[in-house]
A and B are shown apart, each in its own frame.
Chain A
Amino acid sequence: MGTSRIFDKRLIFVTGKGGVGKTTVAAALGLAAARAGKRTIVCEVAHQERMSQVFRREGVGYSETELAERLYAISIDPERSMEEYLSSQVKPAPLYKLLFDNRFFQYFAAATPGMRELVTIGKIWELAQLQRRSATAAPYDLVIVDSPSTGHGLGILRTPATFRDAARVGPIRRQADTIDSFITNPELTGVVNVALPEEMPVNESLDFKKALAVEMGMGVDAVVVNALYPERFSDSETERIERAVESNGSPGVRAALKAALFEHGRAQTQRAELTRLTKKLGRKPITLPFLFEPELDLGSFETLSLELEGAL
């Protein structure tokens, strides 16, 4: 798939388990899309405000904040999303106020299983519409979602379908159906799955792909393997290093040799997992290098976004 094709979608979900680097990939994708001329917004869902940390900004909160040229971010808040949705559904305004301000309604909304997820994905969908709910809100070319980590399963991607099936008639069914149709349409919505080149994350990535196909009839557009160690030392070099370890050098030298062997071992283990993933997927995943930097900064994200751009 060329960069143009995935960036021609309107919505991209970046998925994966905790700790694999979803935010990193979402930010790098966002930078690449913005560079390609797309007015792009990256959505966070879990109050983590990681995007703002990346760009060294104060928390973006529930407002569409510009972080770089053509690149925006928002942290989606379920309560605010609910309020926004209701105010657009229930007219006239006093009736809406009656509903929203009622504490039993608040209780009801908070207690209903999946309601938070539904209004969250509702807001994501709204951001991806060319005709925005508020007349003053400018449309985006592309919405990138830093999806919340899920234990098993598909998380918020499944929510609209669940509500559509539970509510056989009525506005919630209509709304849920509209959202579900949008996110299951491969022309409009893409899924990028992030994994690490390690045993468990690779299994999870394969499980996710399967669940997405079985439960929603959707495919994964791209698998990104994050933090791949470089292969710095060839096998013959490694042998030379191993021999050198035996000749008693200074502690500094020994540390250097051990670090080289560690690097080689890790790179090999990771390659084996990458190969396994490639076989099972039937195609090569995109890889991003492990960056030997204490903390990733904006420069690192730009590096990674260029890598992604080249690979997509």
Chain B
Amino acid sequence: MSHTDWLALVTTLELSAVTTLVLLLLGTPLAWWLARTSSRLAVAVEAVVALPLVLPPTVLGFYMLVALGPRGPIGGTLESLGLPHLAFTFTGLVIASTIYSLPFMVQPLKDAFAAVGARMTEVAATLRAGPWDRFFTVVVPLARRGFLTAITLTFAHTVGEFGVVLMVGGNIPGETRVLSIAIYDHAESMDYASAHLLSGGLLAASFLLLLTVYLVNRRYLLVHP
């Protein structure tokens, strides 16, 4: 594997890890709210969360590019404050990936929180546990399969993104050039050997990751029917 390919792998893993972490922090409260609320607003929020599932990634990428670029509402504001805009940067990529992978974090978590039910947190409240305590000692352990699924899917989905990265990130080695872009470049330049290596590696790694998750979840399932 060439040096630039290694760089692309490192960038990919970094992007996926940071995106997953950011989504875990943002997606968990959102999923909790969606699982518990009776607000009518929830339906609209859920539809927005699911949008990245159906939109072409290029559409999302296009809007992100506009928003984060020097003339966009976000990038422009940053520039007027003397800060760099975010198009074609790693930070911009993280922001775009966070939105792109949002449903993969929120939906499994929401289902897991709904399955835990209100009863268990009520029980914990009668045993002197405050709201945060209840969440971390009762909800999180009982929703652990949902967390595992959400984290894995978010990570794997971010590893696999292409259209959004192409629009927002461009192709800067060590900054925004990820594996999927590298594979595209190799195929374009007829370097099928390198494309095979990266594609095959990605395929095998993704399969093994998902296999592990399903095995672990199945084991939990068998232990606690």
Asked if A and B are interacting partners, one says no
